[in-house]
Amino acid sequence: MSFTSEVKDEVSKLAVFNTEKISELSAIIQSNYDSNKIKIVTENNSVARRVYSLIKELYNVYPSITVRKGYNYNKKMLYILEVHHNTLEILKSLGINGDIPEDFIWADEDLMRAYLRGLFIMCASINDPKTSRYHLEFNLSNLKYAEFIQMLLNKFNLNSKVLHRENRYMVYIKGAEKIGDFLRMIGAARAVLYYEDIRIYRDHKNMTNRLNNCEQANVDRIIETANAQVKDIEFLKKVGVYDLLGLKEQEAAIYRQKYPDASLLELSEIISVETGNKITKSGLYHRFNKIKKMADKIRNKQNN
């Protein structure tokens, strides 16, 4: 079962108040609305049961159910629910009259949550957090309705966007934190725990990788700097001017050749311990800087 199906299965079993049931059912039917007909098609068995129960409990109407194999490549079973009685009265009580529902369907936060939950179980998909992207989207039929859903989502600060895709409109949310907030908002508690566990694991893994990369970059810089210092020392010896260095610089040069892989901090501690003369990392840096300047000066003269 996909992560999307698991979330839909969870929220389809939530117990809610009748006012919330009306908002939830309104979203379910609105997303399938066509010429005053009530016809719901879903691949999810739990969603089919939810829709059937909502219509029966709210209106004492028993939808007809047809089950057949789909025509898509995976040939999943399709559950088709149709209402043939009191259709206009049901649509009116659900605030369905055009592209967007009437205000009383989404009059407060609880009703908005219920509405978005109903829309989610009918026409949304969400990536499993184990994949490389955090993405949730609603696949909708017209721009006016898509902009209405974007408005509802953004009342909860979910930063949703609308994208035109062929003859459909996609309202989407990106970002692990925002998607986690949405799951929490529609009451998918189990999915939130799973989502947050995976997100925390991935964030920790990414942080560890960044630290390792940073550490490796630091090691590479240390080795590169040490190699350059060794080359300067060897160059000064080769051209016969090494003895012109001061005693402190010669001491630094001796220890650099003895410990070619040590960082400046490590080398300063080694010199301090072995000679009894304390030297800081900064002091050692200045000694090597003098060696480099002498080597660069001689190289420039040779090149000219």
Which residues 6+ apart lie within 8 Å of 43 measured at CB? 70, 76, 77, 78, 79
Please provide the average confidence, as pLDDT, over all residues in the chain: 88
State how far the Cα of 46 lies from the Cα of 290, in Å rounded to an integer.
77
Instruction: Encode pLDDT of 41-67 as tens digits.
Output: 998 899 999 999 999 999 999 999 998
Output the CA–CA distances (angstroms, integers) from residue 114 to 11, 64, 89, 262, in the order listed: 10, 24, 21, 63
State yes or no: pLDDT of 74 exceeds 70: no
Name residue, tokens 């909860």.
Answer: 156
* Whether residue 177 has pLDDT greater than 90: no
CATH fit for domain 3-187, picks 3.10.28.10, 3.40.50.2300, 3.40.50.720, 3.90.850.10: 3.10.28.10
Spatial separation of the C-alpha atoms in residues 100 and 117, rounded to whole Å = 16
Whether the pLDDT of residue 34 is over 80: the answer is: no
What pLDDT was estimated at residue 73? 58
Phi, psi at residue 144, to the nearest 5°?
A: -60, -45
**Structural domain boundaries of the chain?**
3-187, 221-303
Three-state SS for 38? Answer: strand
Sign of CA dihedral 76, 129, 159, 21: positive
Q: Alpha-carbon distance 290 to 48, whole Å? A: 80
Q: Within its chain, how far is the Cα of 100 from the centroid?
A: 30
Across the range 72-90, mean pLDDT stands at: 83
CA torsion sign, 141 to 139 to 101 to 13?
Answer: positive
CA atoms within 13 A on the CB side of 173: 27
* pTM to 2 decimal places: 0.68
Q: Residue 185 pLDDT more than 90?
A: yes
CB atoms within 10 A of CB 86: 14
